[in-house]
Structures are given as C-alpha cells and as structure tokens.
Amino acid sequence: MSKGFILVAEEDIGVRRFARALVDIKTGYPTDECETSDELGRRLEKGDEDLALVITNNLDIVRKYAPNSKVPFLLMSGQYTEKEAKDAGAYGLIPKPFTQRQILGVVENALERRV
C-alpha cells in the first residue's frame, strides 16, 4: 500500500503552487492540486484510497467532507480561527499569511495522526 498523496486546493495559483511545492519537497509525499472548490468537491465525491491529507481554503468543503472522512483536512485561511476550523471538522488551521515553518509543522502533525 502506498503512503498516499496530499491534495492542495486553493484558488490563488501562487499560494497553491508554493504550498504544493513546499509540502512535496519537505514531506516526501507526492502532491496534487485542485484549482477550484468545485474540482475538489468532485474529487472528494469520487473518493480516493490513496489520499493522505487535504489542504483547502474552503470552510464549506471542510464542513461537508471532513467530519465523515478518515483523511485529515487542514484549512488554509486568514479568515477563520483555529476554533472555527476545528468546529468545522478540520484537523487544524494554516493561517495566512503563513511561513514555511508554520505550514510544515501543521502538515507533519496531521500526517503523523494519519499513520
């Protein structure tokens, strides 16, 4: 069984590509990306056994999919608090703007939870 991959969903292409590259290089997990919340929703509906972690900036997606998922969700946003993220079902919050250390710390903690 593969260790899975990380899915990064963010409308801002610069943030999405930066987060994806950083997570891919530093964690050793392969990554993929979704440009829109609709695309992420379709992929989550389809299901994927190899999904290890979802990073999204959409609180509604977290509310809809995270509570019934074995896959940890991280909310990447400057609009919400850690409490709001966790109340919605997210494992944690990556606050925007974020540093490399912040995103990697939250991602690594979420991946450890999954193992």
Q: Decide: pTM greater than 0.85.
A: yes
Pick the CATH number of 5-114 from 2.120.10.70, 3.40.50.300, 1.10.10.10, 3.40.50.2300: 3.40.50.2300
What does the H/E/C string look like for 4-54? CEEEEECCCHHHHHHHHHHHHHHHCCCEEEECCHHHHHHHHHHCCCCEEEE
Render each residue's pLDDT in the chain as its tens digit; 115 residues.
Answer: 457 889 999 888 999 999 999 999 988 889 999 998 889 888 888 877 677 889 999 999 999 989 988 889 999 999 999 999 999 999 999 998 888 998 899 999 888 876 5
- Domains of the chain, by residue range, sit at 5-114
Q: Write the CA distances from 24 to 31, 40, 60, integer angstroms.
A: 6, 18, 25
Residue corresponding to tokens 């991946």: 111
* 114 close to 72: Cβ distance less than 8 angstroms: yes
Neighbouring CB atoms inside 10 A of 69's CB total: 15
